[in-house]
Chain A
């Protein structure tokens, strides 16, 4: 187990623009900046990760009790892995409340961009966690697959309760609603496959790739 709360000297503005659906278009940078700075004041970034052995033959995470993976896309993604990192991260509830209250005040654009900044922040926290994990596992000869979450491809989000359990997301205050939604809303759970370098993986791309995703109308598609 390792809790990690990222420092935030800045929030990635270009990612924030992407999540807000702005792509390369011109937009008032002041609003982007305002949203990113406001976000830094009110986020409470934190995350936790757990490492388990993974049985590739039965697609099972060897937690107690074990976690049987469903969904062809995730099974394919983890092919060749013999360990997995179960990760959860959040930026907390305060920013969510602010997004709502700003919208009510009629500051629509700022609210939308703050929402995007919160998304960037939770991803940034997870990115830094990955860096720390890499430092640890690379010494044992492991490489990491990109983060994969329920809902990607055909991985059913009904597996979220197992994700919450194995990533011990309750430690960082993340829980699920009855309809499988994460609360606070700006939270993630994800799995990172670990594979030994020599072994061949059928699924070789190292970075999350928008082109590989079937959600073609995504606002943030690159």
Chain B
């Protein structure tokens, strides 16, 4: 059956002159309910079968703008009454809840629990007033939607409609795509899933289609009347009722059964929808095959027997890892974040998160880990714990559909974990364990699995919510351990067809050459029906086994990925070193500096020392010569600053080695340079670059740092009998300090040459300030310094 919502409310109230500036539109529900009832009546007359209360901004957080938070309950109840006065018994009322206008942590500063409490107040009042649905709408953030949905489910029994707003790129502002929205909200128990606002019907057709391909829940859609324009000084939406109505059949064909309008739509638009759908055949939908789909805020991952294997990264687990455990304990989490990033880079598609550190508040740690990781990667997360409180903390914080690791047939586990899976829309990893221990054979394991799945289904979980664990024991203790696992995988697939998982490395415990056993076992399991191994994604041998298995099992058609992976190409690597062999030691060092190859220096210098090359000659003919060449290339725009710096690093490496070999040479620099970023200025990267080039070209460098007072610069120049003073300032507000330093230097009678530079400086400015030289960039500064010394 097709249901017709209403259209815009605010526009009509505006037209009627009911919204004075600074007046809260929702207060009309209390002050002039008859006006609100009249608008509802217009929509009912036009054909609406569901009308929406005038409560878009009536949550306590929004009402706070008008100092009306305390009246939230009254305003919401009044709104439903005003709607009911028009609706009677036949027309349904949807209690509207709009966004808070703030972002929830970590994206913003609003606490999830505050958002949740906010919506609890509003949903309870809407229900108390007698609404038939709760409508959460125009949300741009999946996390805010989750807070509102949990709140609505907590305080009412009403069906909940969840409508997000999408931008033109097909995602919400905070990155959620419609597939992710559909699977996350469906799993959490949304009754109707949809879209409203932001875009016109044309742009929403493809989004409706994606929603309907990913959930069997009804789809609602309430487009704007096109994209807004301004006519005669007023914002208007260009799409007229007829055009708007014409889109209604297309929206129904794409899968929507609840249709209405948002900004710019009027009773005429709603009448046009009704008219367009008058003789439209009742839509029929075929059921979807429910696959295991997990999501982060902005990405969905499908685990299925027909799809390529999904790696679950196991590294965020402090068991046996002191550093990781210590960081979790002290709250720094740096390794947790790094493991998340690195595992994704290594090919993990899901990340297991375990915070099992003794003596800490694990629930707090889990919440923090989930929050931090979800800001760094879009891989869906697996919450790994045996403690229901830790599990709930993680599930609540997670802006997506997580996987729970794990649910066994132990009574306590079933009792505590399954309700949490249902409440938060998580999938469960099922482990065939009972209170009596581990079943040995495949048949016994299947029996235990039957118990878990039937209990979970009884409680409300469905196909697509399960990942089955094969349960790996060690082959050193039981010669048939591998056979049991392979049989178990086959039985799972035959009976359920659900995807399977397992941690693999236990198989080789107590055996030598474990990597060989592990990777061979891995390949066997993949053939028997393993879909999502929990493993170390950095393990190359396992990755190789996976890559080959994908080609062999037909999941990498024609071995395309396998054939193009560079690991499998027998082309010899380019031998850059071979080229160096044709060069003299000096030429080779020069070449290495130019290429910025600091790593090659120890070996190349060793060779030069063996050939008894004089260190001065080395410096002159190899290092300085290289730097000169780079300077020329830089000036000509053939190389850029980072390359110059790599060369400087190679120079530095060379100098350090030479100094070690000939310590006497130290102090015999080309000349002394005092370098500083002037007082008031804190930008010193440019100055540091100049310093690096000078120091690694043999100058004796005294770097005073940033924000340095004139007096200190002058005193240092005098004390060290500096040949050169280099001054840097970035901005127009700080460069005047350069004038001051030069004035004081001259006053003191010091004769060092002054080179100045910095983003805002010019040759003219340098001249006026009385500087000897202006250096536009670091290489020019080095050239000037060399010139000064050679004079």
Q: Which residue of B lies closest to A140 (CB)?
A: B235
Q: Which residues of A contact B107 (CB under 8 A)?
A: 4-7
Q: Are B682 and A22 in contact, CB atoms less than 8 angstroms apart?
A: no
Q: Are B689 and A108 in contact, CB atoms less than 8 angstroms apart?
A: yes
Within 8 A of B (CB), among A62-111: 99-100, 103, 106-109, 111
- Contact partner of B731 (CB less than 8 A), chosen from A157, A196, A217, is A157
Known: A7-B107, A9-B376, A140-B235. A20 touches B639 (CB 8 A): no
Q: Are B338 and A41 in contact, CB atoms less than 8 angstroms apart?
A: yes
Q: Are A158 and B733 in contact, CB atoms less than 8 angstroms apart?
A: yes
Stretch at the interface among B67-75, B498-506, B526-534, B643-651: B643-651
Within 8 A of A (CB), among B728-747: 730-734
Q: Are B732 and A157 in contact, CB atoms less than 8 angstroms apart?
A: yes
Q: Are B338 and A4 in contact, CB atoms less than 8 angstroms apart?
A: no
B488 close to A (CB within 8 Å) = no
- Contact partner of A108 (CB less than 8 A), chosen from B337, B640, B692, B776, is B692
Stretch at the interface among B226-234, B477-485, B602-610, B613-621: B226-234
Q: Which residues of B contact A170 (CB under 8 A)?
A: none
Q: Are B165 and A27 in contact, CB atoms less than 8 angstroms apart?
A: no
- Contact partner of A185 (CB less than 8 A), chosen from B230, B298, B682, is B682
Known: A135-B198, A141-B230, A181-B681. A20 touches B731 (CB 8 A): no
- Contact partner of B682 (CB less than 8 A), chosen from A25, A103, A183, is A183
Q: Mark B774-785, 1 if CB is under 8 A from A, else 0.
A: 001000000000
**Cα distance A109–B596 in the bound complex, in angstroms:** 10
Q: Which residue of A lies closest to B685 (CB)?
A: A115
**Cα distance A104–B466 in the bound complex, in angstroms:** 53
Q: Are B109 and A3 in contact, CB atoms less than 8 angstroms apart?
A: yes
Q: Mark B612-649, 1 if CB is under 8 A from A, else 0.
A: 00000000000000000000000000011111011011
Q: Which residues of B contact A214 (CB under 8 A)?
A: none
B106 close to A (CB within 8 Å) = yes
Q: How large is the interface on A (under 10, 10 to 19, 20 to 34, 35 or more residues)?
A: 35 or more
**Cα distance A151–B229 in the bound complex, in angstroms:** 33
Within 8 A of A (CB), among B398-445: none
- Contact partner of B341 (CB less than 8 A), chosen from A7, A41, A151, is A41
B375 close to A (CB within 8 Å) = yes
Known: A8-B376, A41-B341, A178-B680. A135 touches B173 (CB 8 A): yes
Chain B interface mostly? loop
Within 8 A of A (CB), among B193-210: 197-198
Q: Which residues of A contact B165 (CB under 8 A)?
A: 135
A138 close to B (CB within 8 Å) = yes
Q: Nearest-CB distance from B196 to chain A (Å)? A: 12
B670 close to A (CB within 8 Å) = no
Known: A22-B642, A103-B685. A179 touches B680 (CB 8 A): yes
**Cα distance A2–B688 in the bound complex, in angstroms:** 37
Q: Which residue of A lies closest to B166 (CB)?
A: A135
Q: Which residue of B lies closest to A26 (CB)?
A: B643
Known: A40-B376, A113-B642, A198-B230. A107 touches B649 (CB 8 A): yes
Q: Which residue of A lies closest to B598 (CB)?
A: A106
Point out which of B235, B298, B685 has the most chain A C-beta atoms below 10 A from its C-beta.
B685
A197 close to B (CB within 8 Å) = yes
B42 close to A (CB within 8 Å) = no
Q: Nearest-CB distance from A130 to chain B (Å)? A: 10
Q: Which residues of A contact B341 (CB under 8 A)?
A: 37, 40-41
Q: Are A112 and B338 in contact, CB atoms less than 8 angstroms apart?
A: no
- Contact partner of A2 (CB less than 8 A), chosen from B108, B227, B596, is B108
Q: Nearest-CB distance from B372 to chain A (Å)? A: 10
Q: Which residues of A contact B368 (CB under 8 A)?
A: none
- Contact partner of A112 (CB less than 8 A), chosen from B297, B681, B685, B730, is B685
Q: Mark B469-489, 1 if CB is under 8 A from A, else 0.
A: 000000000000000000000
Q: Which residue of A lies closest to B175 (CB)?
A: A7
Q: How large is the interface on B (under 10, 10 to 19, 20 to 34, 35 or more residues)?
A: 35 or more
A219 close to B (CB within 8 Å) = yes
Q: Which residues of A contact B643 (CB under 8 A)?
A: 25, 27, 109
- Contact partner of A103 (CB less than 8 A), chosen from B106, B692, B734, is B692
Q: Nearest-CB distance from A18 to chain B (Å)? A: 11
Q: Which residues of A contact B233 (CB under 8 A)?
A: 196
**Cα distance A141–B231 in the bound complex, in angstroms:** 10
Q: Which residues of B contact A23 (CB under 8 A)?
A: 640
Q: Nearest-CB distance from A176 to chain B (Å)? A: 10
- Contact partner of B229 (CB less than 8 A), chosen from A21, A40, A198, is A198
Q: Nearest-CB distance from B558 to chain A (Å)? A: 29
Q: Nearest-CB distance from B756 to chain A (Å)? A: 16
B538 close to A (CB within 8 Å) = no
Q: Which residues of A contact B106 (CB under 8 A)?
A: 5
Q: Are A112 and B109 in contact, CB atoms less than 8 angstroms apart?
A: no
Q: Are A2 and B102 in contact, CB atoms less than 8 angstroms apart?
A: yes
Q: Which residue of A lies closest to B165 (CB)?
A: A135
**Cα distance A25–B688 in the bound complex, in angstroms:** 23
Q: Nearest-CB distance from B600 to chain A (Å)? A: 14
Within 8 A of A (CB), among B106-136: 106-109
**Cα distance A64–B652 in the bound complex, in angstroms:** 55
Within 8 A of A (CB), among B317-340: 334, 337-338
Known: A23-B640, A103-B685. A4 touches B229 (CB 8 A): no
Known: A132-B140, A141-B229, A185-B683. A22 touches B649 (CB 8 A): no
**Cα distance A222–B534 in the bound complex, in angstroms:** 46
Q: Are B642 and A109 in contact, CB atoms less than 8 angstroms apart?
A: yes
Q: Which residues of B contact A37 (CB under 8 A)?
A: 341, 345
Q: Nearest-CB distance from A60 to chain B (Å)? A: 20
Q: Are A112 and B642 in contact, CB atoms less than 8 angstroms apart?
A: yes
- Contact partner of A181 (CB less than 8 A), chosen from B109, B375, B376, B682, is B682
Q: Which residues of A contact B731 (CB under 8 A)?
A: 151, 157, 179-181
Q: Are A196 and B230 in contact, CB atoms less than 8 angstroms apart?
A: yes
Q: Mark B224-268, 1 if CB is under 8 A from A, else 0.
A: 000111110101100000000000000000000000000100000
B378 close to A (CB within 8 Å) = yes
**Cα distance A19–B55 in the bound complex, in angstroms:** 48
Q: Which residues of B contact A151 (CB under 8 A)?
A: 731
Q: Which residues of A contact B297 (CB under 8 A)?
A: 7
Known: A41-B341, A198-B231, A199-B230. A4 touches B681 (CB 8 A): no
Q: Which residues of A contact B689 (CB under 8 A)?
A: 108, 112
Q: Which residue of A lies closest to B337 (CB)?
A: A41
Q: Are B230 and A112 in contact, CB atoms less than 8 angstroms apart?
A: no
Q: Are B108 and A219 in contact, CB atoms less than 8 angstroms apart?
A: no
Within 8 A of A (CB), among B294-324: 297-298
A207 close to B (CB within 8 Å) = no
Q: Which residues of B contact A135 (CB under 8 A)?
A: 140, 165, 167, 173, 198
Q: Nearest-CB distance from A188 to chain B (Å)? A: 14
Q: Which residues of B contact A5 (CB under 8 A)?
A: 103, 106-108, 375
**Cα distance A135–B680 in the bound complex, in angstroms:** 40
Q: Are A112 and B645 in contact, CB atoms less than 8 angstroms apart?
A: yes
Give 18 A-B contacts (CB < 8 Å), ordered by A residue: A3-B108, A5-B375, A7-B375, A20-B640, A25-B639, A28-B646, A40-B376, A41-B338, A99-B685, A108-B688, A108-B689, A109-B596, A109-B642, A111-B688, A112-B645, A134-B167, A157-B732, A181-B731
With A7-B374, A141-B235 known, 14 other A-B pairs at CB within 8 A are A7-B297, A8-B376, A9-B376, A103-B685, A106-B652, A108-B649, A132-B174, A157-B731, A177-B680, A179-B734, A181-B734, A198-B231, A199-B230, A219-B641
Taking Cβ atoms with an 8 Å cutoff, the residues of A that contact B are 2-9, 20-23, 25, 27-28, 31, 37, 40-41, 99-100, 103, 106-109, 111-113, 115, 131-132, 134-135, 138-141, 151, 157-158, 177-181, 183, 185, 196-199, 217, 219
Sorted from nearest, which 4 A-B pairs have the closest CB atoms? A141-B235, A179-B680, A198-B230, A108-B645
